[in-house]
Amino acid sequence: MINTNSSIVKQLILLVIVIQCFVSCAPKINNTTIDELFSNPDLEPTSSIIYAEGFDIYEINGIKKLVIYNPKNISEVLVTYYLTDSLVYNNYLNSDNLILAPLDGVAVFSATQLNAFSKLNLLDKVIAISESEYIQNPEVRDLYDSGNIINLASNGNFYLEKTLELNPSIIFYSPYNMAQSHPLAATEITMIPFFDFMESNPLGRAEWIKFTALFFNKDDEAKQLFDSIETSYNSFKKIALNVIERPTVFSDKYYSGQWFVPGGKSYIARLFNDAGADYLWKENPNSASVNMDFEVVYNKAHNADFWRIVGTYPDGFMYEKLLSENALYEHFDAYNNHKVIFCDSKQTSYFETGTLEPHVLLADLIHAFHPELLPDYNPVYYKLYN
């Protein structure tokens, strides 16, 4: 005769075991938000960012905190994101600005950030760009020409309907006007600002490769690339550190009734200093360019040793072409002595690739200012036309 009570007890025990197993295996929702986790005074993570001022990265228990600062006031936090993998993501679903990494299917509107994607072998994650007619990166051009990457803007006009149809997971963009909302903000797709161009330290600007890598779990690769850049840059900087004579230099050209002179705390001013040159506006407190009259620049720079220019000419740089733009240039010693350091931005892809090659830019300038320090060096971006 079967013991019915015993059978029922066994079934109940089995049911309890199954329920316990289900509960233990189910995702555990953490009532603590990620923001609270990083606010714990017992956990004080240190940012992994060394030179860049526009962002910081912190990490606790496999969760990464990205803080982006207002480039106009770096003491102000613009936005904060948290990135983690699927194992932790489900535990913090009640947290704001939580991103599951690695991403896929993103739009990238910055040419310099596209170069970072290329360096990190991440171009297969890009499905959209903007202003495709100006992109020179051959890998990006091939992907665009084959239809694997779509153009979402041209001549400053963004395609709202096409963006909604494509629906990228995230849009990375470079906001040049903080006062205006981006035209694609109406799509409600997450838009993440990329402010590398606001950094005045050449190594700080290059360090934004860590920013890009964070969204794709490529942190180690980015660190290795940046460490190599940092080592090379500091090695070249050391070569020019103790030069006895520092030649004077000024920058850019007169255009449409104004001369935009880089401030003394600017990106190019830092490069001039590290290359062993005496920048004439080094005492200026600005990190951006300053609008000056021709007479002001002439009075200070007409006797300068060198003149740095970035631009492009259909058939290459020639002194005659420069003079044809403004006959008054012949009154500058750097023009008459053929001491113009020119970077052809189109031939060299300067604006796309230069950001991640500050060590090369520095070596070019050292070779121009002090050729005896790098006698066998072949310049890449900046060349002295003498």
Smallest CA-to-CA distance from 156 within 124, 195, 109 is with: 109
On whether both 72 and 166 belong to a single domain, the answer is no
Q: Is the dihedral of CA 170, 204, 140, 123 positive or negative?
A: negative
Query: Quick one: 241 and 335 in the same domain?
Result: yes
| This prediction's pTM | 0.90
- Parallel/antiparallel/unpaired status of strands 289-292 and 306-311: unpaired
**Cα–Cα nearest to 208, from 221, 218, 199:** 199
From residue 61, give the alpha-carbon distance in Å to each of 85, 202, 300.
11, 32, 56
Residue 301 confidence (pLDDT) above 60: yes
- Give the DSSP letter string of 98-117: EEESS--SEEE--HHHHHHH
Q: Is the pLDDT of residue 27 over 60?
A: no
123-173: pLDDT as tens digits: 999 999 999 999 999 999 999 999 999 999 999 899 999 999 999 999 999
- Tell whether the model's pLDDT for residue 350 goes beyond 90: yes
Show contacts of 283-288: CB within 8 Å, 24+ apart: 287/200, 287/263, 288/263
The chain-wide mean pLDDT, for the chain, equals 91
pLDDT exceeds cutoff 70 at 25: no
Q: Are 263 and 294 in contact (CB under 8 A)?
A: no
Query: How far is 158 from 151, CA to CA, in rounded Å?
Result: 9
Domains in the chain, number: 3
Per-residue model confidence as pLDDT tens digits over 213-254: 999 999 999 999 999 999 999 999 999 999 999 999 999 999
153 within domain boundaries: yes
Answer with the one of 41, 75, 101 that is the final residue of a domain. 101
Q: In this predicted model, what pLDDT tens digit does every residue of 38-73 receive, in sequence order?
A: 888 778 789 999 999 999 999 998 899 999 999 999
The reported pLDDT for the residue numbered 19 is: 45
Same domain, 331 and 342: yes
1 C-beta neighbours (distance < 10 Å), count: 3
CB 252 within 8 A of CB 258: no
- 94/112 Cα distance (integer angstroms): 34
Q: Which CATH number fits the domain that encloses residue 119?
A: 3.40.50.1980
Domain enclosing residue 63, as ranges: 28-101
Place 338 in a pLDDT band, splitting at 50, 70 and 90.
very high
Q: Give the residue-averaged pLDDT of 75-83.
A: 96
CA angle at 316 for the pair 311 and 317, rounded to the nearest 5°: 65
**Distance, CA of 286 to CA of 276 (rounded, Å):** 20
Kindly state whether residues 107 and 43 are assigned to the same domain. Answer: no
Residue 2 lies in a domain: no
* Residues whose CB falls within 8 Å of the CB of residue 305, separated by 6 or more in sequence, listed in order: 247, 248, 249, 333, 334, 337, 339
pLDDT digits (tens, 9 = 90+) for 258-295: 999 999 999 999 999 999 999 999 999 999 999 999 99
Rounded to the nearest 5 degrees, what angle is found at the Cα of 274, between the Cα atoms of 270 and 279?
Answer: 60
Same-domain status, 90 and 151: no
The torsion of the CA quartet 48, 263, 282, 331, rounded to 10 degrees, works out to 140
Return the pLDDT at 14. 53
135 and 238 share one domain: no
Contact 276, 369 (CB under 8 A): yes
Nearby residues of 155 by Cβ (< 8 Å), 6 or more positions away: 131
User: Taking residues 103-114, what's their average pLDDT?
Assistant: 96
Same domain, 75 and 182: no
